[in-house]
Structure 1
Amino acid sequence: MQVVVVGSGYSGTLVANRVAKKVRDAEITVINPRPDFVERVRLHQQIAGTASAATPLTEVLRAGITVRLGTVDKIGDGAVALTDGERIDFDYAFLAVGSTVASMPGTVPVGTWEGAQQARAALAALPAGGRVTVVGGGATGIETAAEIAEARPDVRVRLIGSSVGGGLSEGAQLRIRAGLERLTVDIVDDGVTEVSSGTGQFDGVVHVRSGASFTSDLTLWAIVADVPDLAARSGLQVDVRGRAVVDEFLRSVSDERIFAVGDCAAVPGARFACYTALPQAIHAADNFARLRKGRKPKPHSFPYWNRGISLGRKDAVGQFTHADDSVRRAYLAGRTAVVLKEMGAHSAFSTARAGVSSL
C-alpha cells in the first residue's frame, strides 16, 4: 500500500506518523521542499532570534518513513509528479501543503520559513535606531511586532493594519493594544497601498490609504491569506481561495484517493491555524485506517474554544470562543495566557511528532 504525503508541516507530519502507527502495511513517502519540520507558530521567535522554529525531519518522523526532498508539480491519477521530472505512484495521498504568503513588493514575507530566515538576518544587521515596519493586524503581525520590540528595544517598531486585533472581543483588542504600547510599538490603523524601494536591500517608504507615508529600514509582510496553487494546478476542485474542496470525510471531491488537510483544505468553518490542522490530520489518518479495515469513514467535526496571541515572552492574550469560533467576551491575559500559549505550541509539536493527540 503506497501512501504519499505532500508537505511536512503540522498536518503532514502528523498524518505520516499516525498512518505509520495505525496501518502496518503502508509504505509512506513524505515529500517536502526542505529537510526540516518548521513550527510556524514560532516563526516570530525565529525572526527575533529568541528561539529556533526548525527541527530536522529525521527527528520528528517515525522510523521507516521515506523522506523525498523536492517540490510537487501536480498530483492526481494515482501519481505525484515532481518538478525534477520524477513520478511517485500512490494508492492514497494526503495533500498537506499548508498556506503561504503573497507579499507586496518591497517587503519580506514572515509567514514562510524562507522569509523568516531572510527577516532574521536583516533584523540582526539592523543598527540601533533602525525602523522596522510590520504590515498586518492579525495574529502573525501582532506577534511579530511584539517579539521584535521586546528582543530589540534599540529599534523602533511600527505595526500597520486596517484592523489590529480584529475578530477578537472588544476587551481583548484593547488588551492587545495595551500590550503593544507597553513594548513601545507604534500602531497605525490603516491599510498599506504601496512600498517604495529605497537605496538599500530592504529599506523604503510605506504608503497607506489615508495618504500618509512612513520611512522604514525593514518592512515585514505579516498577512498569511493564501495557499499554494498545487490543488488548482492539478485540476482538483478548489474554492475561491484555491483550497481543495473536500467531502465530509476530508477526501477531495475530485479524487477520493486524495485526502486534503490543514490550511490547503476547504473545510467549512475552518481557519488557518495548527489548532485546526492537527484535528483534521488525525481524522483523515483515522478515516484512511478505517477504509483499510473495510469500515466506513466518519464525518469530520471539530469545536473551537480559544485563540492565543503572544506579546513577547512575558505577555499574551487568550481569547475564548464558541464552538463555531465566534468570540466570547471573556479572555485571559498576562502570565496565565503566556503559559497556555506555550503549552499549546509545545502540544502542537509533540502531537505532530508522536502521531497521537495530546491536545
Structure 2
Amino acid sequence: MAENTDVVVIGGGYAGVMAANRMTQRDDVTVTLINPRPNFVARLRLHQRVAGTHDAVVNYQDILGKGIRLVVDTVTRINPSERSVTLATGDTVGYGYLVYAVGSGSADPRVPGAAEFGYPIATLEEAQRLRPVLEAASGSAAVTVVGAGPSGIETAAELAERGRRVTLVCGGLLGPYLHPRGRRAVAKRLARLGVTVLDGPDTKVTAVTRDAVRLRDGRELRSEITVWTVGFGVPDLAVRSGLSTDALGRLLTDETLTSVDDERIVAAGDSAAPSDLPFRMSAYGAGCLGAHAADTVLNRIADERPAPINLSFPAMCVGLGRGAGVFQLANKDDIAIRLYIGGRPGAKLKEVSCNFSVKHLAVEARKPGSHHWPKGDKRQQLLRAKRGAAPATLTRSEV
C-alpha cells in the first residue's frame, strides 16, 4: 500500500487554490489549504468592491476540490527542519511537501502621509475599509487615485462611472505596460468619464495630507479621499522563517519553483521568485504557477524529475468601468503589440477574463490536471542574460 503524503498549501488565492485542486490527482495525497479568510477573494474585482458593483468574494465550496481540508488561520512560521508550520492559534500542522502561495498585498508606502491618509485597495480588508468612507462622502468630494497601473486605472474609471469626481495621478506614464495605441484608448475613455489624468515624471506624489496631495512639481491637489494603488508587497513569512528570498521578500526558487533551500518547499504566484527573475504579478500568472507548483510536487512524489516552468503572457485586460475596457494583446514574450480590443467588446473580454480566472479553479477542482497554459520562448534567453552568458536588455514588460 502506497504511503500517504501530506501536502500543505499556504494561501487560498488564485495560485494556492489551483495548486491544492491539482494535487488531488493522486489518492495517496492529503491536501490541507491554510488561509486567513473563510472565503476566496477575487482580487481582480476589488476595485468593484470599492465602487459597490461587485462583492469580490467567492465561496470556497464552489471552487475547492472535494477532500481538501480548509483551515482558516494564519501561518506565523515555517519550520523546515521539522516539516511543519506554526499557526496564529499556536497549533502546528505537519507536511511532507509545502506549497508557498501567500500572494501579495500593498507595499509599505514611503511617501510621507500616504500610510496615514491614503487608502490602499490590494486586499479585501482594505477595500472594505474604503467603501464606507466613499459612501459617507458627498457626491462632489474630490477623489484622487494615485498610481496608473491597471489597479489605478480601473479604480478611477469605476468610481467616475458611479458619478465621482476623480483625478488620476500617474507619477509617470499612464498604463506603462500598454502599447501607445492602447494607452490612447484608455486616455480617451477616462476623459469621457470625466477623469482628470495627470501624467509625466513631475506628477510623482511627494506627500499626502488629510485633504490634499502634493506633487513633485510643487502643485497641491485638493483630495478628500486619496486611493493609493502604487506598488505591491509580499508577506514576510519566508523571511521570518529563515528562507532565502529576493529583495522584496519573494521566496527564491529554481525554475521548477522549488525553494533553493529545501526541495520539500515549492512556491507559486506573486510570492515566488524563480531564478530571482519573477514573472509579472497577475491572477492569470498565479493560476499557471500554482498548477506548475503542484506538478513539481506530484513529480517528486512519483520520483520523477520536475520540469522547468514555461509560461507566456499573451494579453492584459484593463477595465474602464462597466461599459468599456481595453484588451491589450501581446507577443509570447509579454510585450504589448499594436493590436487591442477596446470599447464595449473590451469590457466584455475583461468580464470574461475575470469570470474565467475563477472558473478555471472550479474546473480544476472537478477535473484535476486539466489546466493548461500557453508557453513562451524568451525566458531561457533572459536567464542566460542574467547569468552573463549573453547580452540582453531586461525590460519591465519582459519580466
1:222-301 equivalences in 2 (<5 Å):
222-267=229-274, 268=277, 270-301=279-310
SS of structure 1 residue aligned to 2:233: coil
- Tell me which of 18, 21, 24 is aligned to 1:17: 21
Please give the alpha-carbon distance, in whole angstroms, between the structure 2 residues aligned to 1:127 and 1:358: 47
Please give the alpha-carbon distance, in whole angstroms, between the structure 2 residues aligned to 1:271 and 1:217: 33
- Equivalent residue, structure 1, for 2:97: 92
Deviation (angstroms), 1:56: 2.4
- Equivalent residue, structure 1, for 2:156: 145
1:74-89 equivalences in 2 (<5 Å):
74-77=77-80, 78-89=83-94
1:99-150 alpha-carbon deviations (Å, 9 max, x no partner)? 1102422111111111111111211222221111111110000001101111
Please give the alpha-carbon distance, in whole angstroms, between the structure 1 residues aligned to 2:134 and 2:362: 31
Deviation (angstroms), 1:225: 2.0
Mapped contact 2:252–2:273 kept (Cα < 8 A): yes
1:155-209 alpha-carbon deviations (Å, 9 max, x no partner)? 3111111122112111111111111111101112211111112xxxxxx211111
- Tell me which of 38, 48, 58 is aligned to 1:55: 58
Please give the alpha-carbon distance, in whole angstroms, between the structure 1 residues aligned to 2:38 and 2:57: 9
Please give the alpha-carbon distance, in whole angstroms, between the structure 2 residues aligned to 1:271 and 1:338: 22
Residues 1:67 and 2:70 are matched in the alignment: yes
Q: TM-score under structure 2 normalisation? A: 0.85
Deviation (angstroms), 1:231: 1.3
Q: TM-score under structure 1 normalisation? A: 0.94
TM-align CA RMSD = 1.4
Mapped contact 2:325–2:344 kept (Cα < 8 A): yes
SS of structure 2 residue aligned to 1:236: coil
Deviation (angstroms), 1:96: 0.6
Deviation (angstroms), 1:336: 2.0
Please give the alpha-carbon distance, in whole angstroms, between the structure 1 residues aligned to 2:340 and 2:155: 21
Which amino acid in structure 2 is aligned with residue 42 of structure 1?
R
Which amino acid in structure 2 is aligned with residue 91 of structure 1?
G
- Equivalent residue, structure 2, for 1:187: 197
Mapped contact 1:4–1:29 kept (Cα < 8 A): yes
Could you tell me the percent identity over the aligned residues?
38
Mapped contact 2:272–2:278 kept (Cα < 8 A): no
SS of structure 2 residue aligned to 1:228: coil
Mapped contact 1:13–1:353 kept (Cα < 8 A): no
- Structure 1 runs not aligned, ≥5 long: 198-203
Please give the alpha-carbon distance, in whole angstroms, between the structure 2 residues aligned to 1:57 and 1:75: 24
Please give the alpha-carbon distance, in whole angstroms, between the structure 2 residues aligned to 1:215 and 1:344: 36
Deviation (angstroms), 1:358: 7.2
Please give the alpha-carbon distance, in whole angstroms, between the structure 2 residues aligned to 1:100 and 1:61: 22
- Equivalent residue, structure 2, for 1:201: none
Mapped contact 2:10–2:100 kept (Cα < 8 A): yes
Please give the alpha-carbon distance, in whole angstroms, between the structure 2 residues aligned to 1:358 and 1:50: 31
- Tell me which of 20, 31, 36 is aligned to 1:33: 36
Mapped contact 2:160–2:166 kept (Cα < 8 A): yes
Residues 1:316 and 2:325 are matched in the alignment: yes
- Structure 2 runs not aligned, ≥5 long: 365-369, 374-399
Counterparts in 2 of 1:37 and 1:358: CA distance versus 1, 3 Å: farther
Please give the alpha-carbon distance, in whole angstroms, between the structure 1 residues aligned to 2:341 and 2:361: 26
Please give the alpha-carbon distance, in whole angstroms, between the structure 2 residues aligned to 1:307 and 1:59: 26
Deviation (angstroms), 1:269: 5.2
- Equivalent residue, structure 2, for 1:196: 209
Mapped contact 1:34–1:70 kept (Cα < 8 A): yes
- Equivalent residue, structure 2, for 1:165: 175
Residues 1:6 and 2:10 are matched in the alignment: yes
Please give the alpha-carbon distance, in whole angstroms, between the structure 2 residues aligned to 1:306 and 1:57: 28
Mapped contact 1:269–1:324 kept (Cα < 8 A): no
Count how many residue pairs are aligned between Structure 1 and Structure 2. Answer: 350
1:14-62 alpha-carbon deviations (Å, 9 max, x no partner)? 1111112x12122211111111100000111111111120112233212
SS of structure 2 residue aligned to 1:157: strand
SS of structure 1 residue aligned to 2:53: coil
Please give the alpha-carbon distance, in whole angstroms, between the structure 2 residues aligned to 1:223 and 1:82: 30
Please give the alpha-carbon distance, in whole angstroms, between the structure 2 residues aligned to 1:318 and 1:70: 37
- Tell me which of 116, 121, 130 is aligned to 2:132: 121
SS of structure 2 residue aligned to 1:30: strand
Please give the alpha-carbon distance, in whole angstroms, between the structure 1 residues aligned to 2:189 and 2:372: 30
Please give the alpha-carbon distance, in whole angstroms, between the structure 2 residues aligned to 1:119 and 1:319: 29
Please give the alpha-carbon distance, in whole angstroms, between the structure 2 residues aligned to 1:67 and 1:167: 37
Please give the alpha-carbon distance, in whole angstroms, between the structure 1 residues aligned to 2:89 and 2:145: 36
SS of structure 2 residue aligned to 1:324: coil
- Tell me which of 352, 356, 367 is aligned to 1:347: 356
Deviation (angstroms), 1:334: 1.1
Please give the alpha-carbon distance, in whole angstroms, between the structure 1 residues aligned to 2:281 and 2:209: 30
